[in-house]
Amino acid sequence: MDAQRALLDELMGSARNLTEEERRGHKEITWDDKEVCGFYMVKFCPHDLFVNTRSDLGPCPKIHDPKLKESFEASPRHDSYAPRFEADLAHFCEKLMDLDRKVRRGRERLAQEVELPPPPPLPVEKSEQLSVLEEKIKNLLESVEALGEAGKVDEAEALMRKVLAVGFLKLQVMVFSSL
């Protein structure tokens, strides 16, 4: 379908379906119009480079037409416009590189800020208290599992509340030991 449309555009012009009134207001687009992508005319458009990647710039808001590119290359004004388009392309690519550097520096700064210092070592008495509480929690959980398998759900729930209480006690020991 697109091939047929392109053939009709080539033979009859892009305004072939317009009424007489619409044709009067219609302006044929040329390569030097502002709506045409100068990057595409001279080399390539950066918007086309990273399609379907995380670095996708999105679609180019300007027109990319191979026929306009051909007419640009055949134009006698080609040599006067090409350096300007190339300079614009180089400037745009430099801006992209600057943005990439800023993002990289921001990520590095964020990675440095996120690194937390290791917690201070616990006193011996607190670490012994914590290991006793952890062992108690482990034994209570084994009992809860055994009661659950035996069908004694109420007793298992009561023991689970006890596990939560011991866990809260363990948390208190950890928090208050660091103060």
Domain ranges of the chain: 26-114, 124-177
Instruction: For 132-174, write each residue's pLDDT tens digit.
Output: 999 999 999 999 899 889 998 899 899 999 999 999 988 888 8
pLDDT of residue 50: 78
CA distances from 174 to 20, 86, 139 (A): 84, 64, 20
Instruction: For 58-89, write each residue's pLDDT tens digit.
Output: 888 998 888 888 888 898 988 888 899 899 98
pLDDT of residue 24: 65
Both ends of the chain: CA-CA distance in Å?
75
pTM here is: 0.48
